[in-house]
């Protein structure tokens, strides 16, 4: 008894107890925490990043620099995020080919899995907008009427009010939005490619983006079943008004002139 209490008072006793308690907590934590799954996620993510880096050095580094830092032939990709990569590579704009005022859309050259790997690598260079998940861009989750309003205030000045596209300065143009995948519409708003401004969630929340997607989807499907029968091309109120003015008024003037000509002829004879 005396021996034990003497040991307890030993200067190292507290330290021994502390070490023992630490070891016990550590052991329990290791045994009980769901570590294995988290590790698996981490390693599949790091595999994606390494694969992405390989694809990047072959297909992109010549313009964007060995570490995505940019060069005279392409901008830095640090902080552009997975959304920009998915949009640029998924819409076939990247890898860019011939120089020109605007990188052209073409058939995409990478599989979706490779695009995801490239995106994982570039996202690892710096934080940026994250590619959306399917329920974020599903047109079914948006309000068509609200989307039309948002589209007319934010997008129509470049893309025309039914998304037909239009010319900009210096040989650039805002493309038509007909048939563009909902995911790419969402990502274009997140990242603002080229001359397009970006609409981050702080200025345009996810729901509003989804409303715009619903509107564009409605326009796409409605154009094939135009309720008026004959369309004037959907170029907007000014050209359509001009059409009515020139042809409508022109026809009336022609009829008036014809009647006048007949009545004068009738008087003469
Ligand atoms: C021939 C040169 C060239 C190649 C190859 C190329 N890019 Fe680009 N990239 C450019 C240029 C130039 C721009 C800027 C043009 C623009 O704004 O559309 C750009 C823009 C981008 C952007 C948009 C950046 C932003 O600020 O939003 C991304 C993302 C991108 N490239 C990814 C890639 C990926 C991934 C590859 C490889 C698969 C690739 N690029 C290959 C020249 C290139
Ligand atoms: C200042 C003019 C401007 C405004 C405003 C603008 N855009 Fe754009 N948009 C562009 C240009 C220019 C491009 C082409 C970029 C490129 O090719 O890299 C583009 C490209 C796009 C694309 C890609 C189309 C494709 O073929 O892949 C989508 C989708 C898009 N815009 C949607 C929108 C939406 C939705 C809005 C409103 C929230 C909007 N834009 C506002 C100029 C604009």
- In this structure, the residue with its CA closest to atom 16 of ligand 1 is 194
pLDDT attached to residue 34: 59
- In this structure, the residue with its CA closest to atom 29 of ligand 1 is 85
The answer to whether 65 and 73 are in contact (CB under 8 A) is no
- Mean per-residue pLDDT, 12-28: 80
pLDDT attached to residue 27: 74
Q: Given ligand 1 and candidates 75, 118, 124, 195, which is best to mutate, with the most ligand atoms within 8 Å of its CB? A: 75
pLDDT attached to residue 251: 92
More confident position, 150 or 12: 150
Convert the pLDDT of each residue in 163-196 to its tens digit: 777 788 777 888 999 889 999 999 999 999 988 9
Encoding tokens for residue 184? 């790419």
- Pocket, ligand 1, Cβ cutoff 6 A: 59-60, 62-64, 73-75, 77, 80, 84-85, 88-89, 94-96, 103, 118, 191, 193-194
Encoding tokens for residue 112? 């979706």
Residue 228 predicted with pLDDT over 60: no
Residue 128 predicted with pLDDT over 80: yes
Domains of the chain: 39-125 (1.10.760.10), 134-234 (1.10.760.10)
More confident position, 21 or 232: 21
Say how many Å lie between the CA of residue 67 and the centre of ligand 2: 28
Q: How many Cα atoms within 13 Å fall on the side-chain side of residue 42?
A: 5
- In this structure, the residue with its CA closest to atom 12 of ligand 1 is 74
pLDDT attached to residue 4: 58
Encoding tokens for residue 213? 């997607």
- Pocket, ligand 2, Cβ cutoff 6 A: 91, 93, 102-103, 105, 154-155, 157-159, 168, 172, 174-175, 177, 180, 184-185, 188-189, 193-197, 199, 212
Say how many Å lie between the CA of residue 159 and the centre of ligand 2: 7
Q: Report which of 116, 46, 124, 130 is spatially closest to residue 84, judged by C-alpha positions.
A: 130
Convert the pLDDT of each residue in 24-41 to its tens digit: 877 777 676 655 554 556
Q: Long-range contacts made by residues 84-87, C-beta under 8 angstroms, separation at least 24?
A: 84/122, 84/128, 84/129, 84/187, 84/190, 84/191, 84/193, 85/115, 85/118, 85/119, 85/122, 85/123, 85/131, 86/115, 86/116, 86/119, 86/131, 86/183, 86/187, 87/184, 87/187, 87/188, 87/191, 87/193
Say how many Å lie between the CA of residue 35 and the centre of ligand 2: 43
pLDDT attached to residue 18: 79
pLDDT attached to residue 118: 95
Q: Is the peptide bond before 95 cis (omega within 30 degrees of 0)?
A: yes
What's the rounded Cα separation, in Å, for the pair 251 and 269? 27
- CA of 36: how far to CAs of 28, 29, 96, 127, 149, in Å? 15, 13, 41, 26, 49
Burial 172-194 (b: 16+ CB within 10 A, else e): ebbbebeebebbbbbbbbbbbbe
The answer to whether 87 and 184 are in contact (CB under 8 A) is yes
- In this structure, the residue with its CA closest to atom 13 of ligand 2 is 174
Residue 208's pLDDT band (cuts 50, 70, 90): very high
CA of 85, nearest ligand number: 1
Convert the pLDDT of each residue in 63-122 to its tens digit: 999 999 999 989 999 999 999 999 999 999 999 987 677 888 889 899 999 999 999 999
Q: Please state the pTM of the whole predicted model.
A: 0.76
pLDDT attached to residue 130: 92
Q: Report which of 253, 215, 246 is spatially closest to residue 232, judged by C-alpha positions.
A: 246
- In this structure, the residue with its CA closest to atom 1 of ligand 2 is 196
């Amino acid at each position: 008894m005396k021996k034990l209490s003497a040991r307890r008072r030993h200067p190292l006793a507290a330290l021994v107890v502390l070490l023992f308690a630490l070891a016990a907590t550590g052991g329990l934590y290791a045994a009980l925490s769901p570590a294995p799954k988290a590790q698996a996620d981490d390693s599949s993510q790091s595999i994606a990043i390494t694969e992405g880096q390989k694809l990047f050095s072959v297909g992109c580094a010549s313009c964007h620099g060995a570490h995505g830092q940019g060069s005279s032939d392409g901008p830095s990709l640090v902080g552009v995020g997975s959304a920009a990569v998915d949009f640029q590579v998924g819409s076939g704009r990247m890898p860019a080919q011939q120089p020109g005022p605007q990188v052209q859309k073409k058939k995409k050259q990478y599989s979706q899995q490779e695009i995801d790997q490239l995106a994982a690598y570039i996202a690892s260079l710096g934080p940026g907008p994250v590619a959306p998940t399917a329920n974020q861009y599903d047109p079914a989750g948006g309000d068509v009427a609200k989307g039309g309003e948002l589209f007319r205030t934010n997008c129509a000045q470049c893309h025309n009010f039914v998304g037909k596209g239009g010319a900009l300065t210096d040989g650039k143009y805002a493309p038509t939005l007909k048939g563009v995948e909902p995911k790419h519409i969402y990502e274009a708003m997140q990242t603002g490619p080229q001359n397009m401004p970006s609409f981050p969630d702080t200025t345009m929340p996810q729901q509003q983006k989804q409303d715009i997607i619903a509107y564009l989807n409605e326009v796409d499907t409605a154009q094939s079943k135009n309720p008026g029968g004959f369309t004037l091309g959907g170029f907007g109120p000014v050209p359509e008004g001009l059409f009515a003015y020139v042809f409508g008024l022109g026809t009336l003037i022609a009829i008036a002139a014809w009647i006048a000509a007949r009545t004068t002829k009738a008087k003469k004879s």
